[in-house]
Chains A and B, each alone.
Chain A
Amino acid sequence: MQFMLLFSRQGKLRLQKWYVPLSDKEKKKITRELVQTVLARKPKMCSFLEWRDLKIVYKRYASLYFCCAIEDQDNELITLEIIHRYVELLDKYFGSVCELDIIFNFEKAYFILDEFLLGGEVQETSKKNVLKAIEQADLLQEKTEAMYHNKSFIGSKKAY
């Protein structure tokens, strides 16, 4: 996979993941072009299209479009299910995920994606294993945050 984009029906980019080196300018250009192309398509149309020398696979979930660019010999249908599995992961993690979850917790959306796909390839397809990795991180986060809050409290007292 060369990149993945999440954008809203209004064309706002919500997540971008690039697996090939491109300049920021190119990324912006590609994004603009693809958002426009995909949004212009009608609901019953097929989920695949040729674009430059790549294949675009996209699917809409509620207000969000998930759009992947894959290479010529890559499998379109399995890519469609990559998208679906990612949506399932987000859904399980956030509990009925909606666009707002992804806006406000964008960093989490990136972390989950990194556990699932790495370097543009599927790393781990088990939902359980992906979420386990993220939850472990959350546990660590809570632990350290608790520590942090205590320390800062004491620390600030000492400072004064």
Chain B
Amino acid sequence: MPAVSKGDGMRGLAVFISDIRNCKSKEAEIKRINKELANIRSKFKGDKALDGYSKKKYVCKLLFIFLLGHDIDFGHMEAVNLLSSNKYTEKQIGYLFISVLVNSNSELIRLINNAIKNDLASRNPTFMCLALHCIANVGSREMGEAFAADIPRILVAGDSMDSVKQSAALCLLRLYKASPDLVPMGEWTARVVHLLNDQHMGVVTAAVSLITCLCKKNPDDFKTCISLAVSRLSRIVSSASTDLQDYTYYFVPAPWLSVKLLRLLQCYPPPEDAAVKGRLVECLETVLNKAQEPPKSKKVQHSNAKNAILFETISLIIHYDSEPNLLVRACNQLGQFLQHRETNLRYLALESMCTLASSEFSHEAVKTHIDTVINALKTERDVSVRQRAADLLYAMCDRSNAKQIVSEMLRYLETADYAIREEIVLKVAILAEKYAVDYSWYVDTILNLIRIAGDYVSEEVWYRVLQIVTNRDDVQGYAAKTVFEALQAPACHENMVKVGGYILGEFGNLIAGDPRSSPPVQFSLLHSKFHLCSVATRALLLSTYIKFINLFPETKATIQGVLRAGSQLRNADVELQQRAVEYLTLSSVASTDVLATVLEEMPPFPERESSILAKLKRKKGPGAGSALDDGRRDPSSHDINGGVEPTPSTVSTPSPSADLLGLRAAPPPAAPPAPLGAGNLLVDVFSDGPAAQPSLGPTPEEAFLSELEPPAPESPMALLADPAPAADPGPEDIGPPIPEADELLNKFVCRNNGVLFENQLLQIGVKSEFRQNLGRMYLFYGNKTSVQFQNFSPTVVHPGDLQTHILSTWSSPLAPARPLQAAPVSGFLDHERAQLAVQTKRVASQVDGGAQVQQVLNIECLRDFLTPPLLSVRFRYGGAPQSLTLKLPVTINKFFQPTEMAAQDFFQRWKQLSLPQQEAQKIFKANHPMDAEVTKAKLLGFGSALLDNVDPNPENFVGAGIIQTKALQVGCLLRLEPNAQAQMYRLTLRTSKEPVSRHLCELLAQQF
């Protein structure tokens, strides 16, 4: 072995690194670095041509500085020069620099590609490898364009050296992952598969990775790899521990290759050929047998390598899910690991068992380990292991053990790490609902959840218990009794007050017969918590009180007294004040009959997917689905409760909470509420509520738990069952917008550009411009992952005033894009009431990892509108369908044309618009610091002109503009009066069209 020349070729570099290490402070380090940078810069710029060695040294120094975390903005050219050096070491440093500091400077890329091209053609295997490493390290699209066609040739050429083949295989893999479209399939694919037979184990190791990736997209083309992989695997598995020489790792023959081969086989169903299948099953059995043999070495590397193969084998067995014998053996093996002294093995065994639990063959076998798993949940010292145990308990839960598992998880919750409490709460809530035999147990469990971990009980959880209690009359009395008792605790969580308040308000009458829970007792119990609660809870309690007046006329006087108290009627909070005022009036004006109608019990909620399940899926993100989905083929879980079916999307953006539970997500009312039989009073009182059906609870708080659609017929079967999973939905049925849709929309009311949406997978950016009644919007969809999105299809729909009213041209790949000019015209003619014509261009149905696609929307405002169009984005990510619905940031104010006018004109027009319905006014609290400049900018962004010297008070803002639509123009005047002392605003809008006034007022009021 030659003496290793550890960098002695570059003394200057070693000195520099020592200097940096000797720096006492960050400042000293920066100073030293700046000095060095200046030195290098002057050397590079100097008149004297640098020799290769110096260039290499300086480039290496720059690289070191960059790797320390500093920015480097020069030296790229020198590094590129090194690439064409004949000296291996200079070339090598040049390539390293390029690999680490890629720069998409096109000029440079061309030079780099040129150098690579020369090296690839050099027939010098070391140079070729360097070039291939560089392509694999950079993996950019430009490099793919330049080399993707050449590399397959190098890979399968008969005269390529083994090391070159290895590099070529993985280089191609990287390019294929980055830009699959650039790698041409062809005659070489068959020859690549035969690399599985190569004599050189290293070549096989590299080639399997490539084949695994390629066959995922083209399974049929690579089908022959199955039998080759099986025979290769079988040869390795049956070989003695020393047969493979240097490819034996701590007495385990070729562990990396074995794992890769087992991974490759997981891309396919079990082999069809009986002989191949027999051979494979034999392999799998051998691996399971070997696990029982005494270890050949005490070293952890030996057991790790051996168990790596074992776990991959088990993955394959689970993937096939067809060999009951193997599944049970796998489960027993994992059972042994559950008590292994190695933490790593316990962790992996718990993780792997989670997937076994979902197989019908091994579900029972997994269940036998329940005590061990519960013990792990209690005693493991590492939180990540406990987390796995909790996951496994969740996965193995069924009707037979639900009570035990739920009670163990509840117990664990008391001491659980804060980081995972919310998830445990969700899981308990789901299991309790899914496996509830009697609903009193369910109610007890949820109330226990609130008691133990109230802070972690999200809205979804307590909404859900209310839905279930409302829908099941057999549990209502029990629920009322239990919450009543729970509320008697001296300190109870606010969520308990919410649940208690709601349930007693609905069903308090069921326990009123008992003198210990007579109406006055119920009321005073609730009211004793009132002052400790947040505004939202107090608002809910006020609704409970008005319901009490209906349920228990004897409490009317007391409650009216409470409502009448100054602390309510003059409450600083608008919502509370309004409720107090309205309820008080309602209770004194309305007759008992009217009251009984208005305050009737809530109708059953329509059934749909549990919002809790959706939330859990959202929390876990994609990838975790398999372990968490309840798609277990457990026939027993369907009979009574009809197990909750997994939804196709793990992101599940159109969460049921959006419409079922999201008050804030409810679209503003499109029309004034229909007058009720009860008379004019109600119109005034409830004009803010989103719905005014007599049977619904009257307050916004209750209305947000209700649905506008007719309630589902009540039957025990339908209660927890989900609607049948729809077949692949067409582009038309788009989901409801995500809960944040309104919030996101609000961000764009006063501006036109920005990021509309972002999650782990996708970012959507918006750029838009509007002129008169026309607008153009650019949507940028960025794939944040490294995986290609498939079937990517964004669609725009405008719900209009009818839900089915669709005006856009589809951009789905199913329908050809319509000619440009046709859409708005036909849209207008087809639908005379059309408000907006949105015309979209089709986008590519695939979005590569890290790539961005752009979509252009042409928008024409035909007449005034209130609801923004919906943007629905669907795609497949790693096989899982994703969908997402957002509100497109197109609001009526985008079509504002600012109008300048003198004070006199303004006041004259203001007076002309003096009918009550032409004016909309809102008084609201400032949500942001009250800065005049910011306010001005927002008003201008909103679209109106700002008129100076109109309002006598210089603090106030006055604006004017015209909303341009194709059908008509709407003149708008606005006035905003800030009150810095009270941190309040008063906003007044006057327009010639009543809904427009109100809508603009609402839009604008949310901006301050």
Check A61 for interface membership: any CB of B closer than 8 A. no
- The interface residues of chain B lying within 8 Å CB-to-CB of A21 are 139-140, 178, 786, 849-850
- Is B63 an interface position by the 8 A CB rule? yes
**A140 CB contact (under 8 Å) in B88, B139, B171, B263:** B88
CB distance A145 to B308 under 8 Å?
A: no
Which residues, 230 to 281 on B, are CB-close (under 8 Å) to A?
A: 246-247, 249, 254-257, 259-260, 263, 266
B10: nearest residue on chain A (CB-CB)?
A: A107
User: B17 touching A128 by the CB < 8 A rule?
Assistant: no
Q: How far is the CB of A31 from chain B (nearest CB, A)?
A: 9
- Of the listed stretches B342-350, B604-612, B897-905, name the one at the interface; the rest are far from the partner chain: B342-350
Given contacts A93-B4, A141-B5, contact A124 B206 (CB under 8 A): yes
B346 engages A78 (CB within 8 Å): no
Chain A nearest Cβ from B632, distance in angstroms: 20
- A78 touching B344, Cβ below 8 Å: no
Query: Given A53-B621, A144-B89 in contact, is the A46-B382 Cβ separation under 8 Å?
Result: yes
| A16 close to B5 (CB less than 8 A) | no
Cβ contacts A1-19/B at 8 Å (1 or 0 each)? 0100000000001001001
Using CB atoms, name the residue of chain B closest to A76. B348
* Nearest CB in chain B: distance from A153 CB, A: 12
Stretch of B129-137, B464-472, B482-490, B558-566 with 4 or more beta carbons under 8 angstroms from chain A: B129-137
> With A21-B139, A77-B304 in contact, do A135 and B7 touch (Cβ < 8 Å)?
no
CB distance from A53 to the nearest CB of B (A): 5
B667 at the interface (CB under 8 A from A): no
- Which residues of chain A in 117-132 are interfacial with respect to chain B, using CB atoms and an 8 Å cutoff? 118-129
Q: Is A60 an interface residue (CB 8 A)?
A: no
- Is residue B526 contacting chain A, with contact meaning CB distance below 8 A? no
Tell me, yes or no, whether A80 is within 8 Å of chain B by CB. Answer: yes
Residue B845 is within 8 A (CB to CB) of chain A in the complex: no
User: For the complex, is B536 an interface residue (Cβ under 8 Å from A)?
Assistant: no
Question: Nearest CB to that of A17 among chain B residues?
Answer: B137
Q: For A125, what are the chain B residues with a Cβ–Cβ distance below 8 Å?
A: 201-202, 205, 247, 249, 254, 256-257
Asked if B312 and A119 sit within 8 Å, CB to CB, the answer is no
Interface flag for A91 (CB, 8 Å) = no
Residues in A whose Cβ lies below 8 Å from that of B385: 46
Are B382 and A78 closer than 8 Å at their CB atoms? no
- In this assembly, does A30 line the interface, its C-beta being within 8 Å of a C-beta of chain B? no
Q: What residue in chain A is nearest B208 (Cβ atoms)?
A: A121
Contacts of B137 in A (CB 8 A): 114, 119
- Residues on A with C-beta less than 8 A from B2 are 135, 138-139, 142
The smallest beta-carbon distance between B216 and chain A, in angstroms, is 11
When chains A and B are docked, how far (Å) is the Cα of A94 from the Cα of B4? 7
- Provide the bound-state CA to CA distance between A114 and B92, in Å: 11
Which single residue of chain A is at the shortest CB-CB distance from B102? A21
Query: Is the pair A81, B381 in contact by a Cβ cutoff of 8 Å?
Result: no
User: What's the interface size class on A, roughly?
Assistant: 35 or more
Q: Which residues of B contact A75 (CB under 8 A)?
A: 259, 263, 308, 311-312
B17 and A135 contacting across the interface, CB-CB below 8 Å: no
| B75-98 interface bits toward A, Cβ cutoff 8 Å, 1 = contact, 0 = none | 000000000000111101100100
Q: Would you call B307 an interface residue if the criterion is a C-beta within 8 Å of the partner chain's C-beta atoms?
A: yes
Give per-residue flags for A69-83: 1 if the beta carbon is below 8 A from chain B beta carbons, else 0.
Answer: 000110111101110
**Complex contact A123–B88 (CB within 8 A):** no
What residues on B are CB-neighbors of A107 within 8 Å? 7, 60, 63, 92-93, 96
Taken together as a complex, chains A and B put the C-alpha atoms of A16 and B99 apart, in Å, by: 12
Q: Does A29 sit within 8 A of B, measured CB to CB?
A: no
Do the beta carbons of B4 and A77 come within 8 Å of each other?
Answer: no
Which A residues lie within 8 Å of B298 (CB)?
A: none
Q: Is the CB of A129 within 8 A of B384?
A: no
Write out the residue numbers on chain B whose beta carbons fall within 8 Å of the beta carbon of A80. 304, 308, 344
For residue B680, which residues in chain A have a CB less than 8 angstroms away from its CB? none
List A contacts of B188 (CB < 8 A). none
Whether A119 contacts B255 by the Cβ 8 Å rule is no
Q: Contacts of B259 on A, CB cut-off 8 Å?
A: 75, 78
Q: Does chain A have a CB within 8 A of B187?
A: no
Contact A121 B308 (CB under 8 A): no
**B305 & A126 in contact (Cβ 8 Å cutoff):** no
Contacting residues of chain B (109-160) with chain A, CB-CB under 8 angstroms: 126, 129, 132-133, 136-137, 139-140
Given A129-B246, A144-B88, A122 contacting B256 (CB threshold 8 A): yes
Contact A49:B17 (CB < 8 A) given known A121-B206, A127-B246 = no
Would A81 and B301 be within 8 Å (CB), given that A16-B67, A45-B382, A141-B9 are in contact?
A: yes
A interface SS class: helix
Kindly provide the distance from the CB of B330 to the nearest chain A CB, expressed in whole angstroms.
15
> CB-CB < 8 A to B129: which residues of A?
133
| Contact pattern, B 307-323, Cβ under 8 Å of A = 1, otherwise 0 | 11001100100000000
CA distance A15 to B555 in the complex (A): 73
Residues of B within 8 A of A119 (CB): 136-137, 139, 170-171, 173-174, 177
- B14, B69, B202: the one contacting A123 at CB < 8 Å is B202
Chain B residues closer than 8 Å to A144, beta-carbon distance: 87-90
Q: Which chain B residues border A72 with CB–CB below 8 Å?
A: 623
| Set of chain B residues within 8 Å of A122, measured between Cβ atoms | 205-206, 209, 256, 260
Q: Out of A47, A85, A141, name the residue touching B344 (CB < 8 Å).
A: A47
* Bound-state Cα–Cα, A125 to B244, Å: 12
**Contact residue among A50, A81, A136 (Cβ-Cβ distance under 8 Å from B249):** A81
Q: Which residues of B contact A145 (CB under 8 A)?
A: 5, 9, 53, 89
| CB neighbours of B786 from chain A (8 A) | 2, 20-21
The smallest C-beta distance from B812 to any residue of chain A, in angstroms, reads 28
Contact yes or no, A126 B623, CB < 8 A = no
- Would you list which residues of chain A between 55 and 99 have a CB under 8 Å from chain B? 72-73, 75-78, 80-82, 84-85, 93-95
Q: Which of B26-47 contact A (CB under 8 A)?
A: none
Known: A75-B308, A119-B136. A128 touches B246 (CB 8 A): yes
Q: How many angstroms from the CA of A139 to the CA of B2 in the assembled complex? A: 8
A47 to chain B, nearest CB (A): 5
The closest CB in chain B to the CB of A21 belongs to B850
Contacts of B621 in A (CB 8 A): 53
Counting chain B CB atoms within 10 Å of each CB, which of A13, A47, A125, A129 scores highest?
Answer: A125
* Contact digits for B1-15, partner A, Cβ 8 Å, 1 yes 0 no: 110111101000010
Chain B, range 377-410, C-beta contacts under 8 Å to A: 381-382, 384-385, 387
B21 on interface, CB distance cutoff 8 Å: yes
- Cα A50 to Cα B140 with chains together (Å): 28
A52 CB within 8 Å of chain B = yes
Compute how far the CA of A152 lies from the CA of B50 in the bound complex, rounded to whole angstroms.
Answer: 12
Residues of A within 8 A of B88 (CB): 137, 140-141, 144
Say how far A131's CB is from chain B's closest CB, in angstroms. 8
* Shortest distance between the CB of B686 and any CB in chain A (Å): 46
Shortest beta-carbon distance, B416 to chain A, in Å? 16
B803 an interface residue at 8 Å Cβ cutoff?
A: no
Q: Which residue of B lies closest to A49 (CB)?
A: B384
**Chain B: minimal CB distance from A57 (Å):** 9
Residue of A nearest to B312 (CB): A75
Docked CA distance A6–B256 (Å): 22
| Bound form: Cα–Cα A145–B21 in Å | 27
A35 CB, nearest partner CB in chain B, Å = 12
5 CB < 8 A contacts A-B: A21-B139, A45-B381, A76-B308, A129-B202, A141-B5
Given contact pairs A106-B64, A118-B206, A122-B206, enumerate 16 new A-B contacts (beta carbons under 8 Å).
Answer: A13-B67, A46-B382, A49-B384, A50-B384, A52-B760, A53-B622, A53-B760, A77-B348, A82-B256, A104-B17, A111-B92, A121-B209, A125-B254, A138-B4, A141-B5, A148-B51
- Nearest 5 interchain pairs by C-beta: A119-B174, A77-B308, A78-B308, A118-B170, A121-B209
Interface residues of B (CB under 8 A from A): 1-2, 4-7, 9, 14, 17, 21, 51-53, 60, 63-64, 67, 69, 87-90, 92-93, 96, 100, 126, 129, 132-133, 136-137, 139-140, 163, 166-167, 170-171, 173-174, 177-178, 201-202, 205-206, 209, 246-247, 249, 254-257, 259-260, 263, 266, 301, 304-305, 307-308, 311-312, 315, 343-344, 346-348, 381-382, 384-385, 387, 621-623, 760, 786, 849-850
